[in-house]
Amino acid sequence: MSTQASPTPTPTAPGGLPLIGHAHHLARTPLPFMTSLREHGSVVRINIGPTPAYVVTDPALTRRVLVTDAAHYTKGGKIIDALRVFFGDGLATVADGDTHLRNRRLMQPMFNKAHIATRGEAMAAQVREMVAAWPAGRPRDVYADMNDITLAAFLVALFGTDLPPHLRTEFTALMPAIMKGTIRQTVLPSWITRLPLPANRAHARRVARLRALIDQAIDHRSAPHPGVAAEAAAAGCPHAAAARAADEADGLFSTLLNAEDPLTRQQLQDEAITLLTGAIETTGTTLAWTLYEITRNPEVERRLRAELDAVCRDRPLRYDDLEQLTYARRVLQEAIRKYGPAWMVTRTATQDMVLGGHRIPAGADVVWSPYLHQHDPAHFPDADAFDPDRWTPQRAPATRGSFLAFGDGRRKCIGENFAWAELQIILATVLRTWPRFTLASRPPRPQAVVTVKPDNLTLTFHARSEAARPGGERQAAAG
Binds ligand HEM by CB under 6 A, chosen from 345, 364, 367, 476: 345
35 lines the binding site for ligand HEM (CB under 6 A): no
Residue from the set 48, 82, 91, 288 that interacts with ligand HEM by CB under 6 A: 91
Q: Is 375 in the site for ligand HEM (CB under 6 A)?
A: no
Told to check if 328 binds ligand HEM by CB under 6 A, we report no
Q: Can you state the angle between helices 298-312 and 416-433, rounded to 10 degrees? A: 90
Q: How far apart are CA 229 and CA 459, in angstroms?
A: 47
Binder of ligand HEM out of 21, 278, 284, 446 (CB under 6 A): 278
Stretch touching ligand HEM by CB under 6 A, among 141-149, 162-170, 272-280, 390-398: 272-280
The residue within the footprint of ligand HEM, chosen from 186, 282, 295, 460 (CB under 6 A), is 282
Is residue 181 part of the contact set for ligand HEM (CB under 6 A)? Answer: no
- 225-242 CB burial, b ≥16 within 10 A, e <16: beebeebbeeeeeeeebb
If one asks whether residue 275 binds ligand HEM (CB under 6 A), the answer comes out as: yes
User: 351 with 74: CB under 8 angstroms?
Assistant: no
Per CB under 6 A, 81 contacts ligand HEM: no
Which residues touch 98 (CB under 8 Å, ≥6 apart)? none
The amino acid at residue 198 is: P
Cα 36 to Cα 15, 42, 375: the distances in Å are 11, 12, 11
Give the Cβ contact number of residue 300 at 10 Å: 21
Cβ-closest position to ligand HEM? 415
CB 111 within 8 A of CB 406: no
Q: Please report, as residue ranges, which positions from 236 to 255 form the binding site for ligand HEM (by CB under 6 A).
A: none
| Site track for ligand HEM across 413-452, x = CB under 6 A | xxx--xx---------------------------------
Cα–Cα distance measured from residue 55 to residue 369, given in angstroms and rounded to the nearest whole number: 8
Contact, 456 vs 155, CB < 8 A? no
Q: Is 336 in the site for ligand HEM (CB under 6 A)?
A: yes
Helix axis angle for 298-312 and 265-296, nearest 10°, is 120
- The CA-atom distances, in angstroms, between 87 and each of 270, 273, 296, 306 are 6, 6, 39, 44
Nearer to ligand HEM, 312 or 419 (CB): 419
Question: How near is the Cβ of 373 to ligand HEM at its closest, in Å?
Answer: 11
> Binding residues for ligand HEM, how many (CB under 6 A)?
25
Residues 287/150, Cβ–Cβ less than 8 Å = yes
Give the range of 49-57, 273-281, 390-398, 433-441 binding ligand HEM by CB under 6 A: 273-281
Of residues 397-416, those binding ligand HEM (CB under 6 A): 405-407, 411, 413-415
Q: Is 286 in the site for ligand HEM (CB under 6 A)?
A: yes
Residue ranges that bind ligand HEM, judged by CB under 6 A:
75, 91-92, 104, 274-275, 278-279, 282-283, 286, 336, 341-342, 345, 370, 405-407, 411, 413-415, 418-419
